[in-house]
Structure 1
Amino acid sequence: MSSSTSSIARSGTNVFEIVKYNVVLQTVEAARRSACSSKTKSSSSILPPPNNPPPPKPLLIGMPCETTGEFPVLLLLHGYLLSNSFYSQLINHIASHGFIVTAPQLYTIVRPDSSDEIKSTAAITNWLSEGLHPLLPPHVQANLSKLALVGHSRRGKGKGKEETSTSLKFSALIGIDPVDGMDTGKQTPPPVLTYVLQSFHLEMPVMVIGSGLGEVKRNPLFPPCAPKGVNHEDFFNECRKLACYFVAKDYGHLDMLDDDTKGITGKATYCLCKNGKSREPMRRFVGGVVVAFIKAYLEGDSSHLLAIREGVETLPIELQIVKLLL
């Protein structure tokens, strides 16, 4: 990765802000369809066209709207017990920089074993080639040769050792505060961490984003949301080059979610984990660093990522750890 940070100053682009593209958010179910919204960020539901295969799981898709172009695709996997709708503001942020973000709802009833989630992720990945394009606005194309996998919490475990084969190849992997269980020796099956340094053989760039408060208990009745021994630190220790590692100092495991998460599960996100003062700064940071990483390794523009490392770009949060294995 090599580039000059001066291009950022010339362009004025800030990856931590929502910029450039109007975005439409659409849920893909099995009953309704509506057209791309006009000039505003919006939410709508669509039914796949006749002869177009429905997705294996319900989807929330964020995409640039009212533009022409071909855009990389990110497959975003929600965290344990969470809804894909809780990530709508993060999805909007990322999509506004010129990406198509597809976020499935992997389950409604959670199981301790994540094997079914891995199989569902593979099925959705295989569906993208045939099913995604008819759902996009006119003149918007998905570049599936530039495909990234992004997972939060338990789904930050990424592809895992028991990877199910897919027809598409991922070009980058991002773990947002990844967690592999309740504690060392209590990993969620199938376990990913081996506790052997640089043991991951992923053959793609990897970024690990950690939360400084994730390993802190909110109250004595519940364990921390990202326990030490099975969290971001352990994941990065097993990464090889090329890998990036950022830890947000004063923010927690769920601080990249929407400001308002509804329902019983949504309310629980405010009281189960140790949180920062506000979700907005952490969400802006996660959205921005994801954009910077994808631009570097899928689009060949490393200026933003280098600017973050070198302190050239102003961050919405304070970082506790910055490491790049290049």
Structure 2
Amino acid sequence: MNSSTTIPTSTDVFDIGNYTTTLIKVEPRVCDRNGCNPPRPLLICSPSETGFFPVLLFLHGYLLYNSFYSQLIRHIASHGFVVVAPQLYSVAGADATEEIKITAEISTWLSEGLSHFLPPHVEPNLSKLGLAGHSRGGKVAFALALTKSLKLSALIGIDPVDGLDVGKQTPPPVLTYTPHSFNLDGVGVLVIGSGLGEVKRNAFFPACAPKGVNHEDFYKECCRPAYYFVVKDYGHLDVLDDDTKGIRGKATYCLCKNGECREAMRRFVGGL
């Protein structure tokens, strides 16, 4: 299938792209005779038009739902990507080992099952696979990439967090505090940080992306090629949808120091 017939004409990556997108929810089935059952529930956003599109595996933050990122992944998909956002867990403790394992299983499943759930004439280009994660999902993305079990085209950490503080990393620790220690065999890395992530909202809650275990430290350990952006006046959860529902959704407005609105942060992250 020739991807050249579906290249968007828009050059402004910070606006919604030219592809019409469709959001697809996939639930694992108890009995799967077709062999295409995913290891975890998925939220997939794909262009609706015919094409051969790169794939981005996107990992949610700690105790968040993948649906909270619907607007962000729609933005990305509208520029010609298939975005796969698994729900890694409903409840989790401090240890992220199981999430790393599950993400590896999902990445293996992509070649076997993803095409079964995409719109007709949409083909995933898994030779161009990117891995991205927000918050703890960023930590998981780096941890899996460092195993070198995946062939990645790009690795993206969106305000990644490796624990509560220096010396209080959550298992398994990813940061080594050795500059340029992340040897990813030339995979391009993008780290995006929030300026307000390391600021406490109030005296009762810790910072959501504490200094010493956040984006700055992840970038320092990256090898070239690596790129780093900090969105100064926005917070750790400003990449989420404008309206996040339920108890967890409401909590996203009061746990972290936030910027004035979420749209600007989403557009910046989606465009990069």
- Taking a change above 3 Å as real, the CA distance of residues 22 and 12 of structure 1, as seen in their structure-2 partners, is closer
Q: Do residues 176 (structure 1) and 158 (structure 2) align?
A: yes
Q: Do residues 125 (structure 1) and 102 (structure 2) align?
A: no
- Taking a change above 3 Å as real, the CA distance of residues 89 and 162 of structure 1, as seen in their structure-2 partners, is closer
Distance 2:78 2:144 in 1: 33
What displacement does 1:161 show?
7.0
- Taking a change above 3 Å as real, the CA distance of residues 116 and 14 of structure 1, as seen in their structure-2 partners, is same
- TM-superposition CA deviations, 1:37-70 (whole Å, max 9, x none): xxxxxxxxxx9985142100000000000x2110
Partner of 1:305: none
Contact 2:242 2:263 in 1 (8 A): yes
- Taking a change above 3 Å as real, the CA distance of residues 48 and 286 of structure 1, as seen in their structure-2 partners, is farther
Unmatched tracts of structure 1, length 5 or more:
1-10, 32-46, 290-326
Q: State the AA in 2 paired with 1:238.
A: E
Choose which of 16, 32, 55 in structure 1 pairs with 2:38: 55
Q: Do residues 92 (structure 1) and 55 (structure 2) align?
A: no
- Taking a change above 3 Å as real, the CA distance of residues 151 and 248 of structure 1, as seen in their structure-2 partners, is same
Partner of 2:24: 26
What displacement does 1:259 show?
0.3
DSSP-derived class of the 1:185 partner: coil
Partner of 2:227: 244
Q: State the AA in 1 paired with 2:154.
A: A
Partner of 1:102: 84
Partner of 2:4: none
Aligned ranges 1:209-288 → 2 under 5 Å: 209-288=192-271
What displacement does 1:73 show?
0.1
What displacement does 1:18 show?
0.5
Identity fraction in percent: 67
Distance 2:210 2:92 in 1: 20
CA RMSD, aligned part only? 1.7
Partner of 2:3: none
Q: State the AA in 2 paired with 1:15.
A: V
- Taking a change above 3 Å as real, the CA distance of residues 130 and 162 of structure 1, as seen in their structure-2 partners, is closer
Paired residue total: 262
> TM-score by structure 2 length?
0.92
Partner of 1:159: 142
What displacement does 1:132 show?
0.3
- Taking a change above 3 Å as real, the CA distance of residues 282 and 162 of structure 1, as seen in their structure-2 partners, is closer
Contact 1:113 1:188 in 2 (8 A): yes
Partner of 2:58: 76
DSSP-derived class of the 1:60 partner: strand
Distance 1:48 1:178 in 2: 36
Q: Do residues 144 (structure 1) and 126 (structure 2) align?
A: yes
Distance 1:49 1:24 in 2: 24
Choose which of 178, 185, 188 in structure 2 pairs with 1:205: 188
Distance 1:149 1:162 in 2: 8
Q: State the AA in 1 paired with 2:25.
A: T
Unmatched tracts of structure 2, length 5 or more:
1-8
Contact 1:73 1:100 in 2 (8 A): yes
Q: State the AA in 1 paired with 2:178.
A: V
Contact 1:61 1:101 in 2 (8 A): yes
Distance 1:64 1:170 in 2: 21
Distance 2:188 2:97 in 1: 24
Q: State the AA in 2 paired with 1:179.
A: V
DSSP-derived class of the 2:109 partner: helix
Runs of 4+ with >2 A deviation: 47-50, 161-166
> TM-score by structure 1 length?
0.77
- Taking a change above 3 Å as real, the CA distance of residues 153 and 254 of structure 1, as seen in their structure-2 partners, is same
Q: State the AA in 2 paired with 1:233.
A: E
What displacement does 1:30 show?
4.4
- The answer to which of 150-159 and 260-269 deviates more is 150-159
Q: State the AA in 1 paired with 2:210.
A: P
- The answer to which of 235-244 and 22-31 deviates more is 22-31
Contact 1:161 1:192 in 2 (8 A): no
DSSP-derived class of the 1:132 partner: helix
